[in-house]
Structure 1
Amino acid sequence: MDINLVLALFAGAVLLISAFSTLLQRVSLPGPVLALAFGALIGPFALDVVRIEDFGLPPGTLLEQAARITLAVGLAGVALRLPHGYWRRDARWIAVVIGLGMALMFAVATGVLWAALGVPFLVALLLGAIITPTDPVVTTPIVTGSLAENRIPERVRHNLSAESGLNDGLAYLFVLLPVLLLTEPDRAWRELLTTVLLREVLGAAVFGALVGFLMGKLFVLVRRHGLMEESSYLAFVVPLALLVLGTGKLLGTDALLAVFVGVAVFGQVIPQRDEAQEDKVQDAVARLFLLPVFILLGMALPVEEWARLGWVPPVVLTAALLLRRLVTLWALRPLLRDVHDRSETFFLSWFGPIGVSALFYATLAERHTGRHDIFVYTTLAVTLSVLVHGLSTAPLSAWLQHREPERKQEEETAA
C-alpha cells in the first residue's frame, strides 16, 4: 500500500468536504454522506484504488479501533458542548429518555426486526441493541454549526447531544446481553449483572467521574498560576479523552461511557468561559476524525452480500430505525410535555441517526460471536440512516425554525 496515495485521498476528501461544509449542509449533503460515498467510490466495488485490506490489519479490527477512537474524541466534544448546570436543569429529559427511552427503543427495534427480518430472536435482539443508541458523532453535524444554531432551538440541540452521549456508552449493557446469550447462555444473566453492570458500566461511571473531577481541578490550578498556555486547552481535552479511553479499557470498564462521564464532569468543573471559547474547536476536531471513519466504512461495505439479501431487509431496517424513535418519544410525550412542544418532539423523534457507535458495536459483536451477518445488517442500517437522516437535516431544521414563532405565540396565548 502506498501511504502517500492514502494520505492524498483521505486528506483531499476531508479538505473539500470541510471547505464547503456550510453549503453542503444547506443542500442537505452533510459530511458523513459524502465521506461514505467517497469511500465506496475508491473501494473495490467501483474504482478499486484502495482496499481496506491494504492497511495491514484485519478489516474488523481496523474498523473497531478506528470507531472506538473516533467515538472517544466525539464524546469529548459532546460533553463539553453542554453548559454549566445542564444536568441539574434538564434532569427530567435525561431520566425519561435514558431511563425509560432506551429500553423502549430497544424493545421496538427488536420487535420489528424479529417480526419482519426473518432472523433468530437472539440475532434480532443483538441488532436491536446495536441500532438503539443515537450516535453522538453523527449527531454533531446536525446540532452544531451556524445553520443549526440559527434553525434549531438551543434546548433541542443540548438535549439531543446529552442523550446521544449517554446512551452510546450505556448501549454496551444492551449489546452484551444478546452477546452473552449467544456465547455463554448458562452464565449470561450472572455475567450481565455482575461483570457487565457492576464492574464495567458502574465502574466506568465512577472512574470517569473521578478522573474528570481531578483533571478539571488540575486544569483550573495550572491556568490560575500561569503554568499552561491559553492555546493549550484543546491539547488538554483530547489527551484527557484518550487517557480515559485507554485506562478505562485496561481496568476492564466500559471505556466509552467513562470518557463521556469524565469529560462531562471536567466541563462542569472548569470555568464556563473556557468551555464556551473552545467547544467549537473541539467539534471541528471531532469532525476531522468522523470523516475518515466513514471513508473506511465506504471501502468496507459488503455490497455483494447486501445484493443477495433482496429488498426486504432494507425496508425492515429502515422501519426499525425510524419506528424505534417515533414510537418511543411519542409514547413518552406525557412525561415530556413541559420539556418540548409537538414540533420539537417530532424533530427529536425523527433524528436518531446511527453511525460510528453502531459500527463499533457491530465489529465488537462479530468478534465475540463470529456472526458475520451482524456486520452485514448493521452496515446496511448505518448506510440507510446516513442517507435518510443526512438528507432530511436541512428541510426538517428549516421546518422547525418556521415553527418557532408559532410556538412562542402559543406560549404567550396560554400565559
Structure 2
Amino acid sequence: MFSIDLYDIGLLLAGLIIFIASLLPGLVSEKRLITVPIFYMGLGVLVFILPWAPLLPDLVDDVAWLKRVAELGVILSLTSAGLKLNSPFAWASWRISWRLLVLTMPLTVAASAWLGWWAAGLLPASAILLGAVISPTDPVLAGDVEVRAPDEPQGPKTRLVLNTEAGIHNEPERSKTRLALTTEAGINDSLAFPFTNLAIAVALVGLAPSGWVAGWLAVDVFYKLTVGAVIGASCGYLIAKIILSKFMTAMTGVLALSLTLVPYGFAELASSYGFIAVFVAACVFRHYERNHQYQQLVHDFAEQTVRVLVAVLMFFVGAYGSSGALNMMTPGMWGVALAIVFLIRPLTSMLALVGSDLSRKQRWAISFFGIRGIGSVYYLAYGLFHVDFPDARALWSIVLAVIIISIVIHGISAPSVMKRLDLGR
C-alpha cells in the first residue's frame, strides 16, 4: 500500500523545485551572498547527501535526458535574449561582440584544450571537446550580461548588467556593453557547435586534418551556420507577420513556444544548427514591430520558463557534485578548472577588446564575468551522446567544477564589484 515509486519521487521533487523557482527571485536580495543559482545547487547538495537519496542517472551511460533538458533551457533562453534586442542588426549592437566571437572564443577553445591535454592528461579529442563546451558564455545563468526586457527603455546610453540571478543589477550608463554581450551570448551558443563537432570528428578519425578538415569546414561551419541563420530569419519573419497584426490574437505562452520550437525544428530537420535559428528568429520577431504588446508578453513567458529549467538544472549540478562526480578531480584538473575561470576568459577577452572604445573598467568587467553554465552542460552531453570519449568522466568532473566555481565566485563577487564600478562617473 505504501510502496515508493522513483517516478513519483521525481515528480514530487520537480514540483517542489518549480514552486521554489516561482518564489525565490523575490526573496533573494541582491545584497545577500546566496544567489538564486547557488541556492538551487545547495538544495541539490542537501537532498543527495542524505543516505536515503535515490541514485542519480549515470552522466555517461544515461546522458540523453540531460542533453534534452539542457537543450530546452538553452533554446528558451536564446528566445528571451533575442526578444530583448531593440536593434538586433545594427552595427552598434555587434561591433564589440564580434571581437569576443572572433578572437575570445577560438582562443578560449585552443587554450582550454591545450591545458586539458597538458595539465589534466586528457586525450586530444577529449581536450578539444573540453575547449568547445566551456567556450560559450551562458545565456541562462548570466542573463547574457544583457539588455533589459522589451518594455523597459533601451538605447545607446546603457550600462553593463548581469541578471539578478547572477547577482548583478541593471543601471543606465554611457555604453553599449549590454547590447554587445547579449548578442555575443546569443551567437556563441551556436558557434560552439562547430568546435564540438570538430572534437567528435577527431575522436572518430584521428588528429590528421586530411580526415576531417574539408567536410568540417564545408558542412559544420559553412552549411549549418548559414542554413540555420536563414531558417531562423524566415521563421521569425513569418511568425511575426502572421501574429503581430491587429487581425490576429494568440495565446502568448503558445506563441513563445512556437517562436522557439518552429525554427529549431526546421533547422534540425535541415541538419543545421537550431540554436542560431532560434536566436535569429527571436531577433527578427522583435525587429518586426518593436512596440507590439506581444513582445513583452512573449518575453515574460520565455523568461519564466527559463527560470524553472534553471532551477531544475542547477539542482542537478549540486546533486551530481555531491554524489561523487568531483571525486576523480586531480590537482591538474583543478588547475585547469581554475585557469578557465580566472585566466583564460579574462585574458582572451582583454586581448579582444584592445583598441575598443570601452573604458578599462568596462573591459575588465566584461572579461571577468564570462559565466559558464547550462550551455556547457548541453554541449558536453551532446558530445558524449554521439561518441564514446574514454575521458568522459574526467570531462564531466572538470566541466562541473568550472560551472560551480563560476556561479559561486561570480555570483558572490558581483554586488561588491558593481559598487566599485560606477561606470557613470
TM-score (norm 2): 0.84
1:326 aligns with 2:346: yes
Aligned pairs for 1:296-375 within 5 A: 296-301=316-321, 303-304=323-324, 306-336=326-356, 338=357, 340-371=358-389, 373-375=391-393
3-state SS of 2:271 partner:
coil
Q: What per-residue deviation string (whole Å, max 9, x for no partner) do you get for residues 2-21 of structure 1?
A: 44432322222343354232
Q: Alpha carbons of 1:394 and 1:87: their partners in 2 closer, same or farther (altered >3 Å)? A: farther
Whole-Å separation in 2 of the counterparts to 1:162 and 1:394: 25
Q: What per-residue deviation string (whole Å, max 9, x for no partner) do you get for residues 272-319 of structure 1?
A: 353346534432221112211222344445854532333331222121
Percent of residue pairs identical = 19
Quote the offset at 1:342 in angstroms: 1.5
Whole-Å separation in 2 of the counterparts to 1:235 and 1:135: 25
1:271 aligns with 2:290: yes
1:12 aligned residue (13, 16, 33): 16
Partner of 1:220 in structure 2? 244
1:52 aligns with 2:70: no
Whole-Å separation in 1 of the counterparts to 2:291 and 2:412: 30
Partner of 2:232 in structure 1? 208
Whole-Å separation in 1 of the counterparts to 2:273 and 2:170: 36
Q: After alignment, is 257-266 or 151-160 more displaced?
A: 151-160
Q: Alpha carbons of 1:139 and 1:106: their partners in 2 closer, same or farther (altered >3 Å)? A: same
Partner of 1:261 in structure 2? 280
**CA contact under 8 A between 1:52 and 1:300: conserved in structure 2?**
yes
Partner of 1:162 in structure 2? 183
Whole-Å separation in 2 of the counterparts to 1:301 and 1:372: 20
1:34 aligns with 2:39: yes
Q: What per-residue deviation string (whole Å, max 9, x for no partner) do you get for residues 345-366 of structure 1?
A: 1111111122211111111211
Whole-Å separation in 2 of the counterparts to 1:85 and 1:354: 23
3-state SS of 2:142 partner:
helix
Q: Alpha carbons of 1:267 and 1:320: their partners in 2 closer, same or farther (altered >3 Å)? A: same
2:71 aligned residue (68, 71, 81): 68
Structure 2, gaps ≥5 residues long = 146-161
Quote the offset at 1:210 in angstroms: 1.2
1:132 aligned residue (127, 132, 135): 135
3-state SS of 1:59 partner:
coil
Whole-Å separation in 2 of the counterparts to 1:123 and 1:204: 27
Query: What amino acid is the match of 1:203?
Result: V
Quote the offset at 1:62 in angstroms: 0.5
3-state SS of 1:334 partner:
coil
Whole-Å separation in 1 of the counterparts to 2:300 and 2:85: 12
Query: What amino acid is the match of 1:39?
Result: G
Q: Alpha carbons of 1:283 and 1:155: their partners in 2 closer, same or farther (altered >3 Å)? A: farther
Partner of 2:25 in structure 1? 21
Partner of 1:175 in structure 2? 196
Whole-Å separation in 1 of the counterparts to 2:31 and 2:386: 41
Q: After alignment, is 360-369 or 65-74 more displaced?
A: 360-369
What is the RMSD computed on CA atoms of the aligned residues? Answer: 2.8
Whole-Å separation in 2 of the counterparts to 1:47 and 1:272: 54
Structure 1, gaps ≥5 residues long = 410-415
Q: Alpha carbons of 1:145 and 1:264: their partners in 2 closer, same or farther (altered >3 Å)? A: same
Quote the offset at 1:177 in angstroms: 1.1
Q: Alpha carbons of 1:281 and 1:29: their partners in 2 closer, same or farther (altered >3 Å)? A: farther
Partner of 2:154 in structure 1? none
Partner of 2:105 in structure 1? 102
Partner of 2:256 in structure 1? 237
Aligned pairs for 1:185-204 within 5 A: 185=206, 187-204=211-228
Q: After alignment, is 165-174 or 395-404 more displaced?
A: 395-404
Whole-Å separation in 2 of the counterparts to 1:208 and 1:141: 20
Which structure dedicates a bigger proportion of its chain to helix?
1
Q: What per-residue deviation string (whole Å, max 9, x for no partner) do you get for residues 386-408 of structure 1?
A: 3433343353344334432xx44
Quote the offset at 1:343 in angstroms: 1.5
Query: What amino acid is the match of 2:199?
Result: P
Query: What amino acid is the match of 2:53?
Result: V
Partner of 1:412 in structure 2? none
**CA contact under 8 A between 1:112 and 1:320: conserved in structure 2?**
no
Query: What amino acid is the match of 2:123?
Result: P
Whole-Å separation in 2 of the counterparts to 1:318 and 1:15: 34
Q: Alpha carbons of 1:256 and 1:397: their partners in 2 closer, same or farther (altered >3 Å)? A: same
Whole-Å separation in 1 of the counterparts to 2:164 and 2:231: 32
Q: What per-residue deviation string (whole Å, max 9, x for no partner) do you get for residues 52-100 of structure 1?
A: 349xx96200001111111111111111122235643223113211122
Q: Alpha carbons of 1:304 and 1:290: their partners in 2 closer, same or farther (altered >3 Å)? A: closer
Whole-Å separation in 2 of the counterparts to 1:111 and 1:391: 24
**CA contact under 8 A between 2:239 and 2:285: conserved in structure 1?**
yes
Whole-Å separation in 1 of the counterparts to 2:366 and 2:334: 23
Partner of 1:388 in structure 2? 406
**CA contact under 8 A between 1:106 and 1:132: conserved in structure 2?**
yes
**CA contact under 8 A between 2:263 and 2:274: conserved in structure 1?**
yes
Quote the offset at 1:110 in angstroms: 2.2
Q: What per-residue deviation string (whole Å, max 9, x for no partner) do you get for residues 331-383 of structure 1?
A: 123232x1x21222111111112221111111121122201533542354334
Whole-Å separation in 1 of the counterparts to 2:39 and 2:310: 12
Q: What per-residue deviation string (whole Å, max 9, x for no partner) do you get for residues 244-296 of structure 1?
A: 22232222111112111111221111323533465344322211122112223
